[in-house]
Amino acid sequence: MARQLFGTDGIRGVAGQAPLDPKTVFAFGMALGDWAVEVARSRNTAAVAAIGMDTRESGPWLAETVAAGIARRGAATRFAGLTTTPGVAYLTRTEDFVAGVMISASHNPYHDNGLKVFDHSGFKLPDAQEHALEDVIFRYLESGVEPSRQALAPDERLDRRYLDYLVSTFHGDLKGLRIVLDCANGAASHLGPELFRRLGAAVIPIACQPDGRNINLNCGALHTDNLSRAVLEHKADCGAAFDGDADRCMMISASGKLIDGDHVLLIMAKRLLEAQRLNGAKDAPAVVATVMSNLGLEKALRGIGVNLERTQVGDKYVLEKMVDAGLPVGGEQSGHVIFREFATTGDGLLTAIRVLEEVRRTGRSLDDLTKEFFVYPQKLVNVKFKVKKPLESLPGVQAEIAAVRSELGDVGRVLVRFSGTEPLARVMVEGPDMQTVDSCSSRIASAIAAELG
């Protein structure tokens, strides 16, 4: 049976509406409290969970409701306050927490929010565990639970620990480097500028003034135009943009070129290959990416003797593949990059650190480090649907997909999938030129609209 509450990245929706209405959120807290008590008993430790949130105006009441539900079942919480998703993951695995909860809808607009859960290892929960939590949540809802809230006071020591850890991973300094940081008016708004200043960089912050409603609003990792202009205007060496919960990073080179997650994977693959640290369990150098990564990455990696292992969309699936294959780096084109040596989830701040460390080590610019990467034109079309049906059951759609794949051959790719968080069918087409990509993606999108619209 498919999960009903959890999507590809936790539970997500409009704050105040199902599944993020007070009763469901409280039931979620109770289910998590039961699980925390059970895990704590098996580990002979205290049943304590960490909670963090980004800057959305709904964050405080959601945190208080989750905490109250956890407390109802005999477990306790410590509140990290405003922090990043990878910050919660780090604290959960390094402090004496049995679980961690991040309250964020990542790159979504402010009226959305979400609940992301980590276990003590710092990993996002596997699908089976999410299924088990859902069963308990629904049982509590059926019993007629009445939600309540628990007042929370941030423990600032938790954020300090995470920031200190990031600094400790960097070798050398960034003195003389001029960096523009776009923190999406989100979770990195205070951590990002402080981090890079501590490393010695001259920081020009933009979108670092959250008001509860401006998170991701025409800024951050999904809207890099302002960052590109700022890098050129200030004659900066580079720029970095994070999303609302700072688990992804997009960069801008000194020339204004976008450096996305695929470019980062190529930069790090070359570095790890040189250090003979890219071989996995199969003793073949490889990196992990999703089906969304550009064909240009696959070809650039092949050119240096590195394989590309693809997974379904979602950084937790990337991580599962990395662990299974014993590989040190993987990520998504969207900027989620995971460095297993340092983290258990995508971390935008850590990604920027690793890339800039390589810039410093080699003395090469971002433009130079990515010059052999030819980006195949790519277009993503979202098609709204009323009733979801398996794509395999739609003959018109399957025929159009087959026709496009035949036309593109080995100079293009087609991917059609459903969003894990919204009622959308996503059509991605890559090809040799934008005219071809536009035509092919439109044909498939029209076929989907005809059968599902």
Catalytic residues: 106
Q: Are 175 and 200 in contact (CB under 8 A)?
A: yes
Pairing mode, strands 307-311 and 286-290 = parallel
- At 189, is the secondary structure helix, strand, or coil? coil
Element of type H or E holding 322: helix 315-325
C-alpha to C-alpha distance for 176 and 193, rounded to whole angstroms: 15
Q: How far apart, in Å, do the first and last CA atoms of the chain sit?
A: 25
DSSP string, 323-392: HHHT-SEEE-TTS-EEETTT-SS--HHHHHHHHHHHHHHHT--HHHHTTT-----EEEEEEE-SS---GG
Amino acid at position 139, single letter = R
- CB proximity list for 285: less than 8 A, separation 6 or greater: 269, 272, 273, 278, 279, 305, 306, 307
Q: Which of 339, 355, 356 is nearest to 347 (CA)?
A: 339
Tell me the β-bridge partners of 182. 206, 241
- CB proximity list for 21: less than 8 A, separation 6 or greater: none
Q: Are 226 and 250 in contact (CB under 8 A)?
A: no
C-alpha to C-alpha distance for 113 and 106, rounded to whole angstroms: 8
Backbone φ and ψ for 116, nearest 5 degrees, come out as -110, 135
What six digits make up the tokens of 307? 């394989």
Mark residue 144 as left, alpha or beta (left: phi above 0; alpha: psi -120 to 50; beta: remaining). left
Mark residue 240 as left, alpha or beta (left: phi above 0; alpha: psi -120 to 50; beta: remaining). beta
